Amino acid sequence: SIASADMDLNQLEAFLTAQTKKQGGITSDQAAVIAKFWKNHRIKIHESLINQSRWGNILKNMNWRVDLKSQSRHIDQINTPVAIVEMELGKNGQ
């Protein structure tokens, strides 16, 4: 719950307090250890969850432009916009 909500310190304190008051919950010593661990490793845990939830490929770069035809055999094709999109995909961690 802590990691999926990416809790800040205030949210963490409120959550752990509620867990200590709940019947069958955690002790205050356990809450202190969890809080210390979360404070020290929050960024690493968050990045790990993001990496696990990504699909195989990531967008590394994207270029685009819109071209207009200035010459054509048929007059109705002049000034027809054409979008050109170039996307570079890569694997996670590469």
pLDDT in tens, 20-56: 998 988 999 999 999 999 999 999 998 888 877 777 7
State the Cα–Cα distance between residues 67 and 83, nearest whole angstrom.
Answer: 6
**pLDDT > 70? residue 69:** yes
Residues 60/90, Cβ–Cβ less than 8 Å? yes
Q: Which residues contact 89 (CB under 8 A, 6 or more apart)?
A: 57, 58, 59, 60
pLDDT tier, 92 (very low <50, low <70, confident <90, very high otherwise): low
Average pLDDT, the chain: 87
Radius of gyration of the chain (CA): 26
Question: For residue 19, what pLDDT is reported?
Answer: 93
Does position 70 have pLDDT exceeding 80, yes or no?
A: no
Give buried/exposed letters for 75-92 (b at 16+ CB in 10 A, else e).
eeeeeeeeeeeeeeeeee
Indicate whether 1 pLDDT > 80: yes
Q: Indicate the SS3 state at residue 86.
A: strand
